[in-house]
Amino acid sequence: MSLVPRLAPLPPEHEVVRVPLTGTPVPSRRIVTCVRRGASVQPPIARVLAALQRAKAERVPSG
């Protein structure tokens, strides 16, 4: 058994079953990004930052 973050890609040939954790407290993690001033407009960096924002929006209840 292992804890694998939802953001971690799993190759289709691996026979892994993800089972969501339940209970209190709910497992969480903090992800922090740091980029040089102006670098966030570079396409590869912008894509990563946008993907992290989408993942956050999917996981964090609004309100």
Closest C-alpha among 37, 26, 31 to residue 51: 31
Q: Is the pTM of this model over 0.85?
A: no
Residue 60 confidence class, pLDDT cut points 50, 70, 90: low
Taking the CA atoms of the chain, what radius of gyration do you get in angstroms?
Answer: 15
Q: What is the pLDDT of residue 63?
A: 42
Interval 1-47: pLDDT, tens: 677 777 788 888 888 887 877 788 877 778 889 999 999 999 999 99
| Cα(63)–Cα(61) distance, integer angstroms | 7
